[in-house]
Amino acid sequence: MDTITWQDFEKIEIRVGTIVEVSEFPEARKPAYKLKVDFGEFGVKKSSAQITDLYKPEDLIGKQVIGVINFPPKQIGPFRSECLITGFFQEDGSVVLAVPDKPVKNGLKLA
């Protein structure tokens, strides 16, 4: 495993946001949803998330998630992803979202 410096870590903008919109993403190579996530003062950002195994769209609306908001945008087929929503890969390939265990203000930085 490579190590990073504290200064490297401080450059990563890991923020909390609330999912405000979910839509199917049939053009994706692997099953995914298109998400819109409200990061408070940082705005609403779009993301593609391969979380269809464990989550239904209606269960995601209003859920707070943790995302990296300062990666450059990434083109995924016809969709432009503006942030990376974090989660944990399980052995079966499904992803469990990384979420705060209590509600917090959108846009707060991971400490």
* Residue linked to tokens 């994706």: 28
Structural domains in the chain (count): 1
Q: Label residue 87 by pLDDT band (50, 70, 90).
A: very high
CA distances from 42 to 28, 36, 38 (A): 26, 13, 8
Residue 21 has pLDDT above 90, yes or no: yes
- Distance, C-alpha 66 to centroid of its chain: 6
Residue 42: domain span: 7-97
- Is the whole model's pTM more than 0.75, yes or no? yes
Query: Residue 110 falls within a domain, yes or no?
Result: no
Q: Using CA atoms, how far apart are residues 19 and 64, in angstroms rounded to an integer?
A: 6
Q: Return the H-helix or E-strand segment holding 84.
A: strand 84-85
Q: Label residue 111 by pLDDT band (50, 70, 90).
A: confident
- 8 close to 103: Cβ distance less than 8 angstroms: no
Query: Residue 106 falls within a domain, yes or no?
Result: no
Q: 40-70, pLDDT tens digit by residue?
A: 999 999 999 999 999 999 999 999 999 999 9
The token pair at 39 is: 């990061």
Query: Residue 33 falls within a domain, yes or no?
Result: yes
- CATH code, 89: 2.40.50.140
